Amino acid sequence: MANLLVYLTSRHRIWTLDDKYPRLLADKFPAVRVVSAKDKEESLRHLEEAEILYAWSLPEKHLGLARRLKWLHVPSAGVDDALYPALVESDIKITCSRGISSAALADHALGMILCFSRGLALAIRNQIAGEWGRDAFFAGNLLPFELDGKVIGILGFGSIGRELARRARACGMKVHALKRDPAGEDDLPDRLFGPREMREFLGTADFLVVTLPLTRETRGILDAAALEAMKPGSFLVNVSRGALVLEEALLGVLASGHLAGAALDVFEAEPLPDSSPLYGFPNVVLTPHIGGLHPHYLDRATSLFIVNLSRYLKGEPLLHEVDKRAGY
* Alpha-carbon distances, residue 64 vs 44, 47, 67 (angstroms): 11, 10, 6
pLDDT at 141: 72
Give residue 149's region: left, alpha or beta (phi > 0; psi -120 to 50): left
Tally of structural domains, the chain? 2
Residue 326 forms part of a structural domain: no
Residue 220 forms part of a structural domain: yes
Sequence-ordered list of residues with C-beta below 8 angstroms from that of 65, at least 6 positions apart, any chain = 44, 47, 48
Sequence-ordered list of residues with C-beta below 8 angstroms from that of 41, at least 6 positions apart, any chain = none
How far the first Cα of the chain sits from its last, in Å, is: 30
Sequence-ordered list of residues with C-beta below 8 angstroms from that of 272, at least 6 positions apart, any chain = 278, 279, 286, 288
Residue 320 forms part of a structural domain: no
Q: Are residues 217 and 266 in the same domain?
A: yes
Q: Are residues 131 and 256 in the same domain?
A: yes
Q: Are residues 141 and 260 in the same domain?
A: yes
pLDDT at 225: 98
Residue 324 forms part of a structural domain: no
- The question of whether 241 is a catalytic residue gets the answer yes
Residue 321 forms part of a structural domain: no
- How far is 142 from 284, CA to CA, in rounded Å? 14
- How far is 127 from 132, CA to CA, in rounded Å? 7
pLDDT at 182: 85
Positive or negative, the CA dihedral 137, 140, 142, 143 is positive
Q: Are residues 57 and 151 in the same domain?
A: no
- How far is 65 from 47, CA to CA, in rounded Å? 6
Q: Are residues 65 and 121 in the same domain?
A: no
Residue 302 forms part of a structural domain: yes
Determine the distance from the C-alpha atom of residue 179 to the mean position of all C-alpha atoms in its chain, rounded to a whole number: 16
pLDDT at 63: 98
pLDDT in tens, the chain (328 residues): 999 999 999 999 999 999 999 999 999 999 999 999 999 999 999 999 999 999 999 999 999 999 999 999 999 998 988 899 999 999 999 999 999 999 999 999 999 999 999 999 999 999 999 999 999 898 877 789 999 999 999 999 999 999 999 999 999 999 999 999 887 778 899 999 999 999 999 999 999 999 999 999 999 999 999 999 999 999 999 999 999 999 999 999 999 999 999 999 999 999 999 999 999 999 999 999 999 999 999 999 999 999 999 999 999 999 999 999 999 9
- How far is 203 from 120, CA to CA, in rounded Å? 25
With vertex at residue 108, the alpha carbon angle to CA 106 and CA 111, rounded to the nearest 5 degrees, is: 110
Residue 303 forms part of a structural domain: yes
The parent domain of residue 304 ranges over 2-100+294-314
Q: Are residues 166 and 245 in the same domain?
A: yes
* CATH code for the domain of 271: 3.40.50.720
For residues 210 and 227, is the Cβ–Cβ distance under 8 A? no
Q: Which residues pair with 175 in a beta bridge?
A: 152
Per the residue annotation, which of 46, 73, 241, 320 is the catalytic one?
Answer: 241
Residue 323 forms part of a structural domain: no
Q: Are residues 110 and 184 in the same domain?
A: yes
Per the residue annotation, which of 45, 270, 296, 325 is the catalytic one?
Answer: 270
Q: Are residues 170 and 261 in the same domain?
A: yes
- Across the beta sheet with 93-95, what order do the strands follow? 32-36, 2-7, 52-55, 71-73, 93-95
pLDDT at 189: 96
Q: Are residues 22 and 70 in the same domain?
A: yes
- The question of whether 108 is a catalytic residue gets the answer no
Per the residue annotation, which of 169, 289, 294, 311 is the catalytic one?
Answer: 289
Q: Are residues 38 and 176 in the same domain?
A: no
- How crowded is the C-beta side of 265, counted as CA atoms within 13 Å? 23
For residues 16 and 37, is the Cβ–Cβ distance under 8 A? no
Q: Are residues 271 and 161 in the same domain?
A: yes
Helix pair 20-28, 297-314: axis angle to 10 deg: 20
- The question of whether 41 is a catalytic residue gets the answer no
Q: Are residues 252 and 211 in the same domain?
A: yes
- How far is 72 from 196, CA to CA, in rounded Å? 35
